[in-house]
Structure 1
Amino acid sequence: MNELLKILSSPQLFEVLNFLKDHSNKNPSSIAKELGFHTFTVQRYLEILEKFGIVSSKVERKIGRPSKKYRYCGGKVTIDFDEILKVFELKSKKIRERESKARYNYDLKKETINGVVKNGKIIKLSDVEGRVLFLVPPIDSTGILISKIVEKLNFPEFDILFAINNLVLMDIVEVVK
């Protein structure tokens, strides 16, 4: 949800949607070229919008690399502000590791955790999740204030809080009572 909230303020997003509404079955590079945007920006918008069913895609295989073509579906997205406020309430809380049996794939130079092996399942972490988890103390500690994590990392507070919420939902970290 936080990805969608971040892009909704972009006028470029609505130009992409409006273009796609009138021109179905276009790939990100042709949309970007037509609108004068960077291909990566258009691709990112479309990936997020596809998660929420606003656009759909199909892969076309011709000579050369396959091409993902998008079309506008429209629809509604419901934003649960109570859920978002719960995430922001985390800022005043402490967290720590949830269980000590999980194994981590560390990158000590980057001070991050790339993934977690938990109950035999590999969980790949985003950059923000990995940096947050690197700072989280073990289960036998009193925890760390989330506001301290926000101070230490060079990511937007919004992204850090949603990453922590994801780690809690994955049962990797716990909020200390």
Structure 2
Amino acid sequence: MTNCLEALESHLSARGASASVSSSWTAQRLTDEQSLQIREQGDEWEVVIPQPVDRVWAELNHYLELDFAQEGTRDLLAADPSEHEFLVEYMTETERNRNPLQIVFSADVRKMSQEIRLVLQPNGDQTILRAINASERAFSAADQRELLERISGYLR
């Protein structure tokens, strides 16, 4: 009976610790004055996040591990905490929405994902998130914005 109670206590303690860690970001959600900003810089898009880079990296790592686990559609390939970068495989909305006629008349007849680097750069007390094409496939500004909106949605 004692072993059972000890096991239950250990289980509940572990659950409480993981719940407090996962709720840390939620408890510290951004206020209206601190909202994320998606902005266009030249021909590219970026997200300005009013939080320190290490904190943003940890949060994105957590959510990318959970959500980017669908091979062929979105997949987390690598995470580098020292460089504050992620390498993901992602099928853009443009690619997902190609119609059969577009597929038949294109050089590539399959719908394919592509490798994209997600780079976090410290900027004072803010972090800049960029999506950089790491493949030979086309990656338009619209595709870039769509991916950045999806990723930044984890932090709202």
By relative contact order (CA 8 Å, sep 6+), the higher-ranking structure is 2
Shared fold, TM over 0.5: no
Superposition TM-score, scaled by structure 2 size: 0.26
Higher strand proportion (structure 1 or 2): 2
